[in-house]
Amino acid sequence: GVVTDASTGDPITAAVRLNDIGYDIYTDPAVGDYYRILLPGTYTLTFTAPGYQTEVIENIVVTSGSPTVVNVQMTSIGTLTEIFFDDFSSDLGWTGYGGAGEWTRGNPMGGPGDDTHGEPDPTQDHTAGADNNVIGNDLTAADGDYEANLTQIYWITSPVMDCSDVIQVQLDYWRWLGVERNLYDHAYLQAYNGTSWITRWENGSTTIDEDSWNQHLIDVSAQADGNPQFRIRFGIGMTDNGWQYCGWNIDDVRVYGYQSGLPAPASVEVQLSGTNSLSISWDPVPGATHYKLYRSTSPDFEIGPATLLIEVESPQTEYIDSAVLDLTQKAFYKVTARN
């Protein structure tokens, strides 16, 4: 069969799973087609793709001697949106610094630790830049390891992220982590679902001793989708009195998902307004209570806090952008409707 976008007819790269079989096959991204060889019988297929509603097709009858064709159209669920990003160049409101967990935001100093176990801390953040900041446990050059004999978990907690109209939320971050196996020491990552904290990662029975930056992607949709109070937190402890390692070093934390709800305005127009100003206007969207206007110098930019220009209340559908200093440079705008 062929899997396509229900609105545009374009092929979709989708995962296709047969009921009770624990692995996926994928459609050809160029044309959207897929195939499986099955014995005669009745089957259920589940189709998933980022940014689309899941489609489940039941009672598919397969007979011998002739192909069974199942074409599927998938419905888009919204626009990919960056909800939160922190490279720790400035303080965005994390809480839990200091204390016995020694949580710190600052320059990684390559501390070798006070014993002979494990790799040192990094000397450079993941994305080289002027700030060179991370968050981690004891970033000092003289030590760098987490403390021994921690009798509780010490947490560093993110600011609140409003995911009230976002679905398929993902957490993407980079870490440089050293922690002894969980018979002795412990490290955690948790997500807040609006009522309680849920452990999404913890160290296991093998010691982690990283000597480079490593990217980690975690599906937090079960905790974040539709949650206006979503947060994450990293934990260190409890620990024994034996070996210590470098602990957490964390950089470039990104949370993103698909904006659900109202469609985008049908059209957006940009016109010159005055000497160094642009007028941006858009079609009203039924049911919208406010609009978010985003701006970038790149045409294929992602909407998010970094590109948000202003939020206005309905029925306003026009904004004068007087912050454009150089009208010889192209500016690109996107508008989303919210309720």
Is residue 289 within 8 Å of 337, Cβ to Cβ? Answer: no
Q: What is the pLDDT of residues 286-318, one digit of tens each?
A: 878 889 899 998 888 877 777 889 999 999 999
Domain boundary among 235, 258, 281: 258
Residues, the chain: 339
Rounded to 5 degrees, φ, ψ at 194 are 105, -25
Could you tell me the sign of the dihedral formed by the alpha carbons of 303, 305, 307, 312, in that order?
positive
- Claim to verify: residue 62 and residue 126 sit in the same structural domain: no
Q: Fill in the amino acid letter for 131.
A: D
Give the rounded percent of residues in the chain with a pLDDT score beyond 70: 98
The confidence score (pLDDT) of residue 219 equals 95
The Cβ of residue 114 has, within 10 Å, a number of other Cβ atoms equal to 13
Domain span at 16: 3-76
Distance of CA 260 to the CA centre of its chain: 15
- Claim to verify: residue 218 and residue 288 sit in the same structural domain: no
151 found inside a domain:
yes
The confidence score (pLDDT) of residue 325 equals 60
Confidence of residue 233 (pLDDT cuts 50, 70, 90): very high
- Claim to verify: residue 225 and residue 280 sit in the same structural domain: no
Classified as helix, coil or strand, 129 is coil
120 found inside a domain:
yes
113 found inside a domain:
yes
The confidence score (pLDDT) of residue 259 equals 81
> Where residue 45 sits, what CATH number does that domain have?
2.60.40.1120
- Claim to verify: residue 104 and residue 136 sit in the same structural domain: yes
The Cβ of residue 118 has, within 10 Å, a number of other Cβ atoms equal to 23
More confident residue, 324 or 277: 277
- Claim to verify: residue 174 and residue 202 sit in the same structural domain: yes
- Claim to verify: residue 105 and residue 210 sit in the same structural domain: yes
pLDDT value at 80 more than 70: yes
- Claim to verify: residue 241 and residue 94 sit in the same structural domain: yes
66 found inside a domain:
yes
> Where residue 275 sits, what CATH number does that domain have?
2.60.40.10
- How close are the terminal C-alpha atoms of the chain, in Å? 37
Average pLDDT of span 4-20: 91
- Claim to verify: residue 248 and residue 104 sit in the same structural domain: yes
117 found inside a domain:
yes
- Claim to verify: residue 57 and residue 113 sit in the same structural domain: no
d(CA 187, CA 291): 41
* H helix intervals, 139-195: none
Domain boundary among 58, 76, 94: 76
> Where residue 243 sits, what CATH number does that domain have?
2.60.120.200
pLDDT value at 98 more than 90: yes
- Claim to verify: residue 170 and residue 42 sit in the same structural domain: no
263 found inside a domain:
no
SS (H, E, C) 278-289: EEEEECCCCCCC
Average pLDDT of span 101-128: 90
Tally of structural domains, the chain: 3
Winning range, highest mean pLDDT, from 164-168, 197-201, 258-262, 330-334: 197-201
- Claim to verify: residue 119 and residue 221 sit in the same structural domain: yes
Could you tell me the sign of the dihedral formed by the alpha carbons of 112, 216, 182, 135, in that order?
positive
Is residue 252 within 8 Å of 241, Cβ to Cβ? Answer: no
- Claim to verify: residue 106 and residue 239 sit in the same structural domain: yes
235 found inside a domain:
yes
Nearest partner of 173 among 241, 255, 112, judged by Cα: 255
Confidence of residue 34 (pLDDT cuts 50, 70, 90): very high
pTM above the 0.75 mark? no
Give the rounded percent of residues in the chain with a pLDDT score beyond 90: 68
Domain boundary among 25, 48, 76: 76
Average pLDDT of span 160-176: 93
The confidence score (pLDDT) of residue 306 equals 78
Confidence of residue 322 (pLDDT cuts 50, 70, 90): confident
62 found inside a domain:
yes
